[in-house]
Amino acid sequence: MINPKRSTQLVLDSLLKGPLYGIVNHRIHSPVTLDAAENWNFWTEPKSPQVEWLFRKYPPESIRKKHLDFMLEQEHSKGIEAHYDVSNDFYALFLDTSYKFYSCAEFKSDNETLEQAQTNKAAHIFELLELDGNEKILDLGCGWGAMLKFLQNSGHKGELTGLTLSKEQFAYDRNQLGLNVFLTNFITETFENKPYDRIFSIGSFEHVKPKEINKIYQKIYDALTPEGLAVHQFFSLERESYPVSMVMTQLFFSGSVLVTHDVHIKAAQSAGFTISHDSIHDYKPTLRKWYENLVKNQERALDLVGLETYNRYITFFPIAWLFFQQGEAQVHRIVTKKSRHY
């Protein structure tokens, strides 16, 4: 049966924010649980050229920019809390059981488990950090303490500190893992207890607003020791600055807008860094695995967070898969070394 209120909302959303936004929002607010197979196929199977054009070109860029600039005015905490402070138990239903990484893993073969792939990722970042075991390290946007836990398990003896804006993550890191983590906005607040030998971030630079990119790289540069380096994993836009997808993404990460990769590189170099490593990694297998895990645990997920949140996440994973499949963005791991000045 057609619901007039839902139909009207779909039309209004599609006209004002584009059909991509409208359809995503319509499916998130479905009055019934979305069918797992139909939902994945709906987003990942090819569309007609006409539909693809609408999804990529409407609304016009001037309207997109106006809307996104408005969304960027809100505090970082609003979008972070809405996405991450859902339920630690809910996230545990689909993240890896070893570390709880909520970021792109490194699948070296189709047969690897999510746990092995996330360990592969952590091992690569560990290698990029060039550690001797005694460095003082700061993790920006530490999530559920995954990389800090990996460092501890690897025998690191130096001081480890993590920063997060999520109250749920903060409670988990402190109470469950006993980590030295603080509830702090790493983008706007001063780094305490500096300098650091190493600073890294995994999946948190996506929440740095475009006007803040230069400032955060300079802030990191200034907080490092003379021989320090920083490692970052993040995804960035490959083509245009205000794609339609960024309007739709506000349904999942309100107030966050990506920049093109060259903006990151120029900001790092402008701060004084030398880029010694920049590699590209495939997010799609991780998103697929998270989707399968969540669907497998559907009943428990509905008990924990309810219908709308469940539908939101099983919509988010395939639409994110499509985002990377169509090459709108790429996951990068970069190493930025503090340049020596003589």
- For 285-301, the pLDDT digits (tens) are 999 999 999 999 999 99
Give Cβ neighbours of residue 119 (< 8 Å, ≥ 6 apart): 98, 99, 150
| pLDDT at position 78 | 83
For residues 173-182, average pLDDT: 97
Q: Thinking of the domain 4-338, which architecture would CATH place it in?
A: 3-Layer(aba) Sandwich (3.40)
Amino acid code (one letter) for 200:
F
| pLDDT at position 81 | 83
| pLDDT at position 2 | 67
Find, among 319, 109, 286, 108, the residue nearest to 203 by Cα. 286
Tokens describing residue 333? 């791991």
Answer whether residue 129 shows pLDDT above 80: yes
Grade residue 80 by pLDDT with cuts at 50, 70 and 90: confident
**C-alpha pair distances (Å), 258 with each of 66, 97, 137, 180:** 15, 29, 26, 29
Answer whether residue 41 shows pLDDT above 90: yes
Q: Are strands 181-183 and 137-140 parallel, antiparallel or unpaired?
A: unpaired
Find, among 92, 77, 102, 308, the residue nearest to 203 by Cα. 102
Ordered by start, the domain boundaries in the chain are 4-338
Q: Per mean pLDDT, which range of 63-67, 115-119, 283-287 is the poorest? A: 63-67
Amino acid code (one letter) for 42:
F
Answer whether residue 139 shows pLDDT above 70: yes
| pLDDT at position 341 | 52
Cα–Cα distance for residue pair 49/54, rounded to 1 Å: 9
For the chain, report the end-to-end CA distance as a whole number of angstroms.
74
For the chain, the average pLDDT equals 95
Grade residue 239 by pLDDT with cuts at 50, 70 and 90: confident
| pLDDT at position 76 | 85
